[in-house]
Amino acid sequence: MRRLALALALAAFGTAVSAQQNWPSFRGPNASGVADGKPTAVKWNAATGENVAWKAPVDGVAVSSPIVWGNRVFVSTAISGDPKQGIRTGQYGDVEPITDTSKHTWHLIALDKATGKVVWDRTAAEGIPKTKRHPKSSQASATPVTDGRHVVVSFGSEGLYGFDFEGKQLWKKDLGILNSGWFFDPDYEWGIGSSPIIYKNMVIVQCDIQRGSFLAAFDTDTGKEVWRTQRDEIPSWSTPTILEVTGTADKAELITQATTFTRGYDPMTGKELWKYSGNSEIAIPTPIVGPGFVVITNGYRGVQPIVALKPGATGDITLKDNETRNEFIVWSSKRGGPYIPTPVIYGDYLYVLQGNGALAAYKIASGEQVYQKRLGGAAGSFSASPVAADGKIYCTSEDGDVYVVKAGPEYQELAKNSIGEVVMASPAISDGLIIFRGLKNVYAIKAP
């Protein structure tokens, strides 16, 4: 009888967890940035606590985003021995990195989704950082990823770590010195930005660095290397994406974006399938999956492509002069791609947020622009990616101002809400909660 009761209890627990809405990686399920099904807040006040479910302080300097699985929220952080360290916000073109040679500790932290209380806090690494960082970056910039059994976090040159849900460290992989920075001068180290993803039983990392760029997959249970593919690429900061065609999961493609080429790989072997040229010098946004294709965007110094690519290609599918489409390019535009924020596809539209706060909407089927407006009329600087839920688009500035825009073909700003501190990370959404990672605190915003 006790065994039966235990089995029923475990079954009920499993059903409860599976019924909850997960946000397992950077930008949520397959980097979509979308979480529908529950009402989400339009207005809140972080200072007074209006529509704030909880607020949890987290030490350190980090721009990694929160992830959610079941009743757990996971965040990573790097705590410097220098308490004056922070983030420099705003629009500027400086390339001088931050040199902080004080002792650091790198942490993975689990919070209770209902209360924000710390469930466990594990130190993954200690020591002096092996590389410098950009003034807008951190020593904990890659967002963790989970499959519901493992939580994997990359701290770049400090290693890749696998934990279970109870906080037990399962394995560690040394990825080497990942020097991602200004390609004209390797002394200008900016730190990594690409986050790991999980596909089947593998965690996949994209490591585009000054020399020796590579793509690699590791077993989620043991950390054992499954495959590794060398890449002829300079530093990039884009997170890869899996594109699966309905009914043909065995033909899934791993999509990576970088300066020289956007490429498609076989995710099971790391074999390159196709490549596409035409990106800007610096590639940051993540590829996002549309209706039967993947959308690639980037934008730096006048090169701002938006390209919708179909799966199944082989070889070089780069457009010829004056072409906007071919057999595997559904549509494309030479203008409009963002520098840092990853766009979001919601309903029939693609929403692209620029670093200066200009929000543009495009018909996802054709690439036709339907509007472009400046958030708030005169917004600040934006690094966090927009997310969508409950008929709304959420755009967060570096100053912590969150603009709520009604989804659809006409621009309608519903609200502007302040988090009250610097926000560089993209929010997570789960069961109606919008979870923001500020420089000092994590906030959960609820619908009234």
Indicate whether 3 pLDDT > 50: no
CATH number, domain containing residue 398: 2.130.10.10
Residue 388 covered by a domain: yes
Indicate whether 249 pLDDT > 60: no
Handedness of CA 109, 132, 387, 276 (dihedral sign): negative
How many structural domains is the chain composed of?
Answer: 1
Residue 6 pLDDT? 41
Q: Convert the pLDDT of each residue in 335-362 to its tens digit.
A: 999 999 999 999 999 999 999 999 999 9
* 31-49 average pLDDT score: 97
Provide the pLDDT confidence category of residue 250 given band limits of 50, 70 and 90.
low
Indicate whether 10 pLDDT > 80: no
Indicate whether 185 pLDDT > 50: yes
Residue 295 pLDDT? 98
Residue 48 covered by a domain: yes
Residue 387 covered by a domain: yes
Residue 135 covered by a domain: yes
Domain of 398 in residue numbering reads as 20-445
Indicate whether 32 pLDDT > 80: yes
* 70-77 average pLDDT score: 98
Residue 377 pLDDT? 80
CA-closest candidate to residue 171, choices 218, 127, 229: 218
Residue 7 pLDDT? 44
Q: Convert the pLDDT of each residue in 142-162 to its tens digit.
A: 999 999 999 999 999 999 999
* 57-62 average pLDDT score: 96
Q: Which two structure tokens, joined as six digits, stand for 177?
A: 């010195």
CA-closest candidate to residue 446, choices 116, 19, 14, 146: 116
Q: Convert the pLDDT of each residue in 386-411 to its tens digit.
A: 999 999 999 999 999 999 999 999 99
Residue 101 covered by a domain: yes
Q: Residue 29: count other Cβ atoms within 10 Å of its Cβ.
A: 14
Residue 9 covered by a domain: no
Provide the pLDDT confidence category of residue 222 given band limits of 50, 70 and 90.
very high
Indicate whether 4 pLDDT > 70: no
Residue 428 covered by a domain: yes
Residue 15 pLDDT? 36
Residue 160 pLDDT? 98
Indicate whether 374 pLDDT > 50: yes
Indicate whether 95 pLDDT > 90: no
Indicate whether 12 pLDDT > 80: no
* 77-93 average pLDDT score: 91
Mean pLDDT score across all residues of the chain = 93
Segment among 97-111, 202-216, 249-263 with least mean pLDDT:
249-263
* 59-78 average pLDDT score: 97
- CA 158-127-155 angle, to 5 degrees, is 20
Please tell me the pTM assigned to this model. Answer: 0.94
Indicate whether 58 pLDDT > 80: yes
Q: Convert the pLDDT of each residue in 362-372 to its tens digit.
A: 999 999 999 99
Residue 246 covered by a domain: yes
* 300-317 average pLDDT score: 95
The rounded distance, in Å, linking the Cα atoms of 114 and 37 is 18
* 423-444 average pLDDT score: 98
Q: Residues 428, 445: contact at Cβ < 8 Å?
A: no
Residue 246 pLDDT? 66
Residue 244 pLDDT? 86
C-alpha distance across the termini of the chain, in Å: 43
